[in-house]
A and B are shown apart, each in its own frame.
Chain A
Amino acid sequence: MVPLVRMSKSSKVLIILIVLSSCLAVAGTYYQTIVLGDFDMYDEESEPVSGI
């Protein structure tokens, strides 16, 4: 039987905090990578290039 452990207020705050920070991190990464294309890439046969 699963113990009757209810979700406390602090659990809700923790989950909301983690979800919010995750969303922010994903949005930031999306903007930087997909929208701006701001990341390093290279071809093994040439020198590393920055951005697109």
Chain B
Amino acid sequence: MNTLSLVCGDVAGGDALVSIFDFSIAPALLFYAYVPAIALVLLLGIYVLRSDSKFRLPNNLFFLTTLFFILYLINDTVQWIAVPVVVVHFSWQLILLIKSLLLLTCFYFVYTFVEKRDMTSLMKISLTLLFLPVTVLLPTSLNIAAFNLSLCQADSGVFYFYVYLLEGVVLLLIVLQFIRHYSRQQSRKEKMETISVTFGAIAFILFIFATDFIGEYTGSFEILMIAPLGMLIFLALIAFIIVRYNTFNAKLLGAQALIITIIFLVGSQLFFIKSHINFVLTSATLTATVIAGYFLVRSVKREVKQREEIQSLVGELAKTNKRLQQLDKLKSEFVSIASHQLRSPLAAIMGYSSMLGDGSYGKLPAKAEEIVERIVYSAKLMGASVEDYLNVSRIESGNMKYNLSDFNLKDQAERVAEDIRPIALKKNIIMLFRTSMTGQGVVNADPGKTEQILHNLINNSLKYTEKGNITVVARDNVQDKKLYIDITDSGIGMSDETLASIFQKFERGSNANTTNIHGTGLGLFTAAKLAEAMGGNITAHSEGEGKGSRFTIEFPLVA
């Protein structure tokens, strides 16, 4: 007797030989649930596998998990649509094997993904030992006890429930692994990846377990059709970490995933449409979706590529910037060392030449006195430059020391203006000091440093002013608790371009070179940095070239 000739009672044809599969006996929901699920699972599995050029174990295991899940769905479908009893029975027998493979592969995948290493040999042997009874007992009545012809379904044997044990063990191991490893994950990305993979796997196994259990308990196996939902949750979480964190090295785009899902959802309707008009309309919708999706994905891909290029450039720029900062530090260190080396011989030159000029070594001829005066003057200039370099070096290395105390800055400004007045008069420049104060003008700062700031700014005005006057004004704003010192000159002024960079290192006015002015371009930079370090600020204003300048020193008043 042909084993295929016996068919279940609900199939027309009695015990006559009929075709092996009859699609009409399965509920429509079965195809609607399974076909898109199979397509999506297969697609993502292949995507993850193909995106891996280094043959990573988690990628391969994820692909294997998706394959076994597809086998599980196909086997379940066979149970619904197979006509001969032997085929239905065979399909029932395979459930235990496929589920066991699915569970173990899923666990192996989660393990390697979360632990970031392969299993130990002991674990592998334990897993194999857990699995081997399944292969041995698969054909026996301990797996499937008998076949119920009137219900066209199999009765589970004692060993069939072994799969529940496997599900329980795998679930427990995944949860334990998560608890053990979650706190050890360093970055948010790693944590999110672990959460997604772990909870996806738990949802997947729970759905299979729950639907199986309910189906077995109630004898109504339609519930099994919602089992793919668990896998879809798993896939959704996997797709999320792929899109968000580029996990699996797969550059899957959110738009790509969305379009593929829409195409499968629309396409799967074609299997169940009975009306010709609906079929044509759905086909047209599907075609339009495919075309629009193609252009959308292409455009998003182009944008992503551009973004990646920009990110790569930003990375290179950051590296170059870091290198430049290192070079700048090296340069400052070099300047510091060189300046220190220059200072000692300079002191000797200045000291001895001054003594020569004073006549400490006897009266010099008039011509020699003039030369000695030049030597002293040049040495002073050089000494000032060296001091500038050293100050910059100290500021940049953070070694500048500040002795803060409360003192009257207005009085200090007046004194400095008085000190410089004779030099200004030599150039026929009038130096004025004015006050517009309502308070005392006491600030908390380092008096030595503020004096240096005032000297730098007033001397700077003096250098760039050929005729006219320089006015130093001290004013305060009690409401804002601020003291302002304005140094206004009628000098060469500044363009907007010069104003924007006047406080930068080695920066000099664009017309400085034409006015035969000595300077390192470090005076304003030093003044600004010193003021900032003590909680103050310096700003510069000018109406334009040839229209003079105004520098304003600002310090908070002591309450």
Find out whether the CB atom of A33 lies under 8 angstroms from the CB atom of B86: yes
Find out whether the CB atom of B117 lies under 8 angstroms from the CB atom of A39: no
Which one, A7, A8, A25, contacts B134 given CB within 8 A? Answer: A25
Given contacts A6-B56, A10-B124, A25-B97, contact A40 B248 (CB under 8 A): no
- On chain A, the residues within 8 Å of B101 by CB distance are 18, 22
B150 in contact (CB, < 8 A):
yes
Which one, B90, B113, B116, B147, contacts A29 given CB within 8 A? Answer: B90
Q: Scan residues 1-52 of chain A and give those whose CB is less than 8 A from a CB of chain B.
A: 1-8, 10-11, 14, 17-18, 21-22, 24-26, 28-30, 32-37, 39-45, 48, 52
Find out whether the CB atom of A17 lies under 8 angstroms from the CB atom of B128: yes
- On chain B, the residues within 8 Å of A7 by CB distance are 55, 57, 60, 118
State the CA gap A52–B186 with chains docked (Å): 62
B403 in contact (CB, < 8 A):
no
Task: Please choose the segment from B138-146, B361-369, B380-388 that sits at the chain A interface, where 4 or more of its residues have CB less than 8 A away.
Answer: B138-146
Residue of B nearest to A23 (CB): B135
Residues 246-271 of chain B: 1 if any A CB is under 8 Å from the residue's CB, otherwise 0? 11110000000000000000000000
State the CA gap A39–B155 with chains docked (Å): 12
Residue of A nearest to B101 (CB): A22
State the CA gap A7–B124 with chains docked (Å): 13
B131 in contact (CB, < 8 A):
yes
Find out whether the CB atom of B150 lies under 8 angstroms from the CB atom of A44: yes
Find out whether the CB atom of B59 lies under 8 angstroms from the CB atom of A2: yes
Find out whether the CB atom of B118 lies under 8 angstroms from the CB atom of A11: yes
Main secondary structure of the interface of B (DSSP, over half): helix
B58 in contact (CB, < 8 A):
yes
Find out whether the CB atom of B146 lies under 8 angstroms from the CB atom of A39: yes
Find out whether the CB atom of A42 lies under 8 angstroms from the CB atom of B147: yes
B337 in contact (CB, < 8 A):
no
Residues 79-112 of chain B: 1 if any A CB is under 8 Å from the residue's CB, otherwise 0? 0000001110110011001000100100000001
Find out whether the CB atom of B138 lies under 8 angstroms from the CB atom of A29: yes
B220 in contact (CB, < 8 A):
no
Nearest CB of B to A37, in Å:
4
B183 in contact (CB, < 8 A):
no
- On chain B, the residues within 8 Å of A10 by CB distance are 118, 121, 124
Nearest CB of B to A24, in Å:
7
State the CA gap A48–B101 with chains docked (Å): 32
Nearest CB of B to A21, in Å:
4
- On chain B, the residues within 8 Å of A52 by CB distance are 1, 3, 6, 86
Nearest CB of B to A25, in Å:
4
Given contacts A30-B90, A33-B86, contact A3 B148 (CB under 8 A): no
- On chain A, the residues within 8 Å of B144 by CB distance are 39
Nearest CB of B to A33, in Å:
5
Given contacts A22-B97, A42-B149, A52-B6, contact A5 B56 (CB under 8 A): yes
Nearest CB of B to A27, in Å:
10
Nearest CB of B to A10, in Å:
6
Find out whether the CB atom of A44 lies under 8 angstroms from the CB atom of B151: yes
Find out whether the CB atom of B149 lies under 8 angstroms from the CB atom of A1: no
Find out whether the CB atom of B56 lies under 8 angstroms from the CB atom of A4: yes
Which one, A6, A11, A25, A48, contacts B135 given CB within 8 A? Answer: A25
State the CA gap A6–B52 with chains docked (Å): 11
Nearest CB of A to B333, in Å:
39
Given contacts A3-B58, A5-B56, contact A40 B145 (CB under 8 A): yes
- On chain B, the residues within 8 Å of A1 by CB distance are 189, 245-247, 249
State the CA gap A49–B60 with chains docked (Å): 45
State the CA gap A51–B21 with chains docked (Å): 22
Q: List 22 A-B contacts (CB under 8 A).
A: A1-B246, A3-B112, A3-B116, A5-B56, A5-B112, A5-B116, A6-B118, A7-B55, A10-B118, A10-B121, A17-B128, A18-B131, A22-B135, A25-B135, A36-B3, A39-B141, A40-B147, A41-B85, A41-B148, A44-B148, A52-B6, A52-B86
* Other contacts beyond A3-B58, A34-B3: 8, CB < 8 A: A3-B56, A10-B124, A18-B128, A25-B136, A26-B97, A33-B89, A34-B90, A37-B86
